[in-house]
């Protein structure tokens, strides 16, 4: 349960605020992911980093900006968000980015944009 941690667990922000979500994995993995989970929608992949290189940007608006300084840490910088961006943001990691690699999820950050 402590392999992938996320902070903060809850965040309320206004549309003009700037905030950052943090993810840290202690599993020795080389790939990290950001997902968005909204009510009644599938888990949506946002970004993939493999060995610190971004390999996937799933048509995510520029108000979401990822950063991966090393294989253990992943950030999601948020600015000028919209109310429809309110969701659970999940971080995950795997040994590497490839089919067949089990992804381990963090507990998520519940984001509310007012």
Q: Which stretch binds another protein (CB under 8 A): 22-30, 64-72, 77-85, 103-111?
A: 103-111
Confirm if 51 and 71 have CB atoms less than 8 A apart: yes
Structural element, H or E, at residue 75? strand 73-79
Residue 107, judged by CB atoms within 10 A of its CB (0-12, 13-18, 19+), counts as middle
Using CB under 8 A, pick the residue from 43, 63, 71, 75 that binds another protein. Answer: 43
Using CB under 8 A, pick the residue from 16, 42, 62, 70 that binds another protein. Answer: 42
Q: Kindly state the DSSP code that residue 84 receives in the 8-state scheme.
A: G
Q: How far is CA 3 from CA 15, 19, 20, 37, 54, in A?
A: 32, 24, 20, 20, 22
Q: How far is the CB of 15 from another protein (least distance, A)?
A: 27
Using CB under 8 A, pick the residue from 7, 54, 55, 82 that binds another protein. Answer: 55
Residues in the chain: 114
Using CB under 8 A, pick the residue from 13, 17, 22, 56 that binds another protein. Answer: 56
Q: Which stretch binds another protein (CB under 8 A): 18-26, 65-73, 74-82, 93-101?
A: 93-101
Q: Which residues of this protein are in contact with another protein, per CB under 8 A?
A: 4, 40-45, 48, 55-56, 58, 90, 97-100, 102-108
């Amino acid at each position: 349960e402590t392999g992938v941690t996320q902070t903060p667990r809850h965040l309320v922000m206004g549309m003009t605020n700037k905030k950052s979500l943090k993810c840290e994995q202690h599993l020795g993995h080389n790939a990290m992911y950001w997902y968005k989970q909204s009510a009644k929608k599938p888990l949506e992949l946002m970004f993939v980093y493999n060995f610190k290189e971004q390999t996937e940007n799933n048509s995510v608006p520029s108000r979401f900006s990822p950063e991966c300084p090393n294989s253990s840490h992943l950030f999601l910088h948020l600015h000028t968000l919209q109310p429809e961006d309110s969701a659970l943001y999940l971080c995950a990691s795997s040994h590497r980015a490839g089919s067949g690699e089990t992804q381990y999820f963090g507990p998520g950050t519940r984001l509310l944009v007012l």
